[in-house]
Amino acid sequence: MADNIVVEMMSNEFVVWRCLHSELLARSNVNSPAWEQFHERNESFLVKMIEIYGSCAVVAKDADHVVARLLKEAAERRIEPEAAKIRHTVRLDLV
Protein backbone atom coordinates (compact mmCIF):
# COMPACT_ATOMS: atom_id res chain seq x y z
CA MET A 1 0.00 0.00 0.00
CA ALA A 2 2.74 2.48 0.87
CA ASP A 3 4.17 2.17 -2.64
CA ASN A 4 0.92 3.55 -4.07
CA ILE A 5 0.73 6.67 -1.91
CA VAL A 6 1.21 9.97 -3.73
CA VAL A 7 2.02 13.08 -1.68
CA GLU A 8 1.10 16.40 -3.28
CA MET A 9 -0.01 19.92 -2.54
CA MET A 10 -3.78 20.30 -2.25
CA SER A 11 -5.30 22.15 -5.20
CA ASN A 12 -8.73 23.42 -6.25
CA GLU A 13 -9.13 20.13 -8.13
CA PHE A 14 -10.10 18.35 -4.90
CA VAL A 15 -10.42 20.48 -1.76
CA VAL A 16 -10.30 18.35 1.38
CA TRP A 17 -12.47 20.69 3.45
CA ARG A 18 -13.16 18.35 6.39
CA CYS A 19 -11.18 16.07 8.69
CA LEU A 20 -10.62 12.42 7.92
CA HIS A 21 -12.50 11.19 11.05
CA SER A 22 -12.27 7.39 10.77
CA GLU A 23 -12.81 7.17 7.01
CA LEU A 24 -10.82 7.74 3.87
CA LEU A 25 -12.06 10.71 1.88
CA ALA A 26 -12.78 10.72 -1.83
CA ARG A 27 -14.85 12.95 -4.09
CA SER A 28 -17.69 10.46 -3.64
CA ASN A 29 -17.94 10.84 0.15
CA VAL A 30 -16.34 14.17 1.12
CA ASN A 31 -19.74 15.93 1.04
CA SER A 32 -21.28 13.83 3.80
CA PRO A 33 -24.58 15.23 5.15
CA ALA A 34 -23.19 14.87 8.69
CA TRP A 35 -20.67 17.64 7.93
CA GLU A 36 -22.81 19.84 5.66
CA GLN A 37 -23.04 22.69 8.18
CA PHE A 38 -19.28 23.27 7.79
CA HIS A 39 -18.98 22.70 4.04
CA GLU A 40 -19.46 26.20 2.62
CA ARG A 41 -17.40 27.93 5.31
CA ASN A 42 -14.47 25.51 5.21
CA GLU A 43 -14.31 25.04 1.48
CA SER A 44 -14.54 28.75 0.64
CA PHE A 45 -11.77 29.51 3.16
CA LEU A 46 -9.46 26.81 1.78
CA VAL A 47 -10.14 27.82 -1.83
CA LYS A 48 -9.23 31.41 -0.99
CA MET A 49 -6.00 30.23 0.69
CA ILE A 50 -5.15 28.17 -2.39
CA GLU A 51 -5.81 31.15 -4.66
CA ILE A 52 -3.62 33.44 -2.55
CA TYR A 53 -0.75 31.10 -1.63
CA GLY A 54 -0.92 28.35 -4.27
CA SER A 55 -1.87 25.79 -1.62
CA CYS A 56 -2.46 25.51 2.11
CA ALA A 57 -2.11 21.78 2.71
CA VAL A 58 -0.24 18.66 1.72
CA VAL A 59 -2.34 15.58 1.05
CA ALA A 60 -1.35 11.94 0.78
CA LYS A 61 -3.49 9.94 -1.62
CA ASP A 62 -3.89 6.24 -2.26
CA ALA A 63 -5.64 6.06 -5.63
CA ASP A 64 -8.68 8.36 -5.30
CA HIS A 65 -8.68 8.40 -1.48
CA VAL A 66 -6.99 10.91 0.80
CA VAL A 67 -5.21 9.02 3.58
CA ALA A 68 -3.51 11.98 5.30
CA ARG A 69 -3.63 15.75 5.32
CA LEU A 70 -1.11 18.23 6.72
CA LEU A 71 -2.45 21.75 7.26
CA LYS A 72 -0.36 24.79 8.01
CA GLU A 73 -2.24 26.68 10.74
CA ALA A 74 -1.82 30.11 12.27
CA ALA A 75 -0.30 30.27 15.72
CA GLU A 76 -2.56 29.81 18.72
CA ARG A 77 -4.51 32.86 19.89
CA ARG A 78 -2.64 33.12 23.18
CA ILE A 79 0.60 34.00 21.36
CA GLU A 80 1.47 37.70 21.13
CA PRO A 81 0.46 39.25 17.76
CA GLU A 82 4.09 39.86 16.72
CA ALA A 83 5.08 36.30 17.55
CA ALA A 84 2.07 34.96 15.63
CA LYS A 85 3.59 36.34 12.43
CA ILE A 86 6.53 33.99 12.71
CA ARG A 87 5.22 30.97 14.67
CA HIS A 88 3.04 28.30 13.11
CA THR A 89 1.67 24.97 14.17
CA VAL A 90 0.89 22.01 11.97
CA ARG A 91 -1.73 19.32 12.37
CA LEU A 92 -1.56 15.95 10.69
CA ASP A 93 -4.82 14.06 10.28
CA LEU A 94 -4.32 10.32 9.74
CA VAL A 95 -6.85 7.57 9.32
The lowest-confidence range among 1-10, 44-53, 85-94 is 85-94
Which residue in 41, 73, 42 sits closest to 57, CA to CA?
A: 73
Looking at the DSSP bridge assignments, the partners of residue 72 are 90
Q: Tell me how many domains the chain contains.
A: 1
Range of the domain at 69: 2-94
- For residues 76 and 35, is the Cβ–Cβ distance under 8 A? no
Task: Give the phi and the psi of residue 92 in degrees, each rounded to 5.
Answer: -115, 115
Q: β-strand 88-94 against 65-74: which pairing, if any?
A: antiparallel
Q: What percent of the chain has pLDDT over 90?
A: 14
Q: Percent of the chain beyond pLDDT 70?
A: 71
Give the sign of the dihedral formed by CA 13, CA 19, CA 20, CA 24. negative
pLDDT digits (tens, 9 = 90+) for 15-54: 989 887 767 888 888 888 888 899 999 999 999 988 988 8
| pTM, entire model | 0.65
